[in-house]
Copies of this chain bind each other. A is one copy, B any other.
Amino acid sequence: MAELVDAPDSKSGFFGSAGSIPAPGTILKMEETMKYCSSCGGTISRKIPKDDNRKRTICDDCGLVHYQNPLIVVGCVAESDSKILLCKRSIEPRYGYWTIPAGFMELGETLAGGAARETLEEACANIEIGHQFASVDVIDAGQVHIFFTGKLIGGYGVGEESLDTQLFAEDEIPWDELAFHSGRFALKKYLEDRGQNNGVHFHELRRQPGAD
C-alpha cells in the first residue's frame, strides 16, 4: 500500500496556514523559527508567564505573549448518487494522491462554511452541508481535522490544487492511493454510518517514533 502521511501541505507558514495541510513537525518549527516580537520587533524568550503553567514565547522588551495553538482543517465527504467526490492533488506533498476536499479554516467563516469553500475551491463543486461526523486530532502537526457530510448540488470540476476530480462508488475508492490518514479514517467512518448521524467519530494520530 502506498505510504500515507498524517498532514500535508504546500502553503503553510509556521504560524498559521492556508490551502491544504502542513506537515508533521510544525509545532517544533514554530518554536524554532520565531525570533522577534511581531508587535515591537524585540527579541523573544521561551518561559512560563505569571498565572500560566506552560512555556510560551514572550517578548523580552514589551512582554507580549505570543501564544501558539492548534489549527482547524475542515473537509467534506460530498456524495452524489451514492458516489463520493475525491480530488487528485496537484500540489506537494502527496502530489498525485487522492483526498477528500479539505483545507484550513479561515477567519470570518464557520466550520461548515469552510468545508463548503474548500470543496468549491478544490472540486469546483457546490454542496449542501449535512452534519459533522468525524474529527481527527493530528497531534504532531498541531491540527484538528473536522469532517462533514455533504450532498453535491449540480456538477463539479477540477480546481487549481487538483489534477483530477472524480465521483467514486464505494467499491471504486482508491484506498491505496489516498493522501492522508485523517481522510482514510473519515471515509471509513462515513461508509460505516450509511447516511445515519451517529455523532462524531474521534481519532487521534501521532507519529510513530522514528517515522518520517
Chain A residues proximal to chain B, CB less than 8 Å: 11-19, 27, 33-41, 44, 49, 51-54, 56, 64-72, 104-113, 121, 131-133, 135, 137, 139, 142, 144, 160, 197-200, 202, 204
Contacts and interface: CB of A to CB of B under 8 A. Distances in A.
How many of these chains are in the complex?
2
Top 10 nearest A-B pairs by Cβ distance?
A16-B67, A110-B137, A36-B41, A197-B199, A13-B65, A38-B38, A132-B200, A16-B69, A34-B38, A107-B142
Contacts of A34: 38-39
A38 B40 contact: no
Given A34-B39, A36-B39, A204 B110 contact: yes
Contacts of A11: 49, 51-52, 65
Contacts of A70: 72, 105-107
A36 to B, nearest CB: 4
A38 B65 contact: no
A52 B202 contact: no
Contacts of A14: 39, 64
21 contacts: A17-B69, A18-B52, A18-B65, A19-B51, A27-B108, A33-B38, A34-B38, A36-B40, A37-B38, A69-B71, A72-B72, A109-B139, A110-B139, A110-B202, A111-B144, A111-B202, A112-B202, A132-B199, A197-B198, A199-B200, A200-B200
Nearest to A34: B38
B54 A106 contact: yes
B16 A38 contact: no
A133 B135 CA distance: 13
Q: Which of A16, A39, A69, A137 has the most CB of B within 10 A?
A: A69
A109 B68 CA distance: 13
Given A35-B40, A36-B37, A132-B200, A67 B110 contact: no
A12 B67 contact: yes
B108 A139 contact: yes
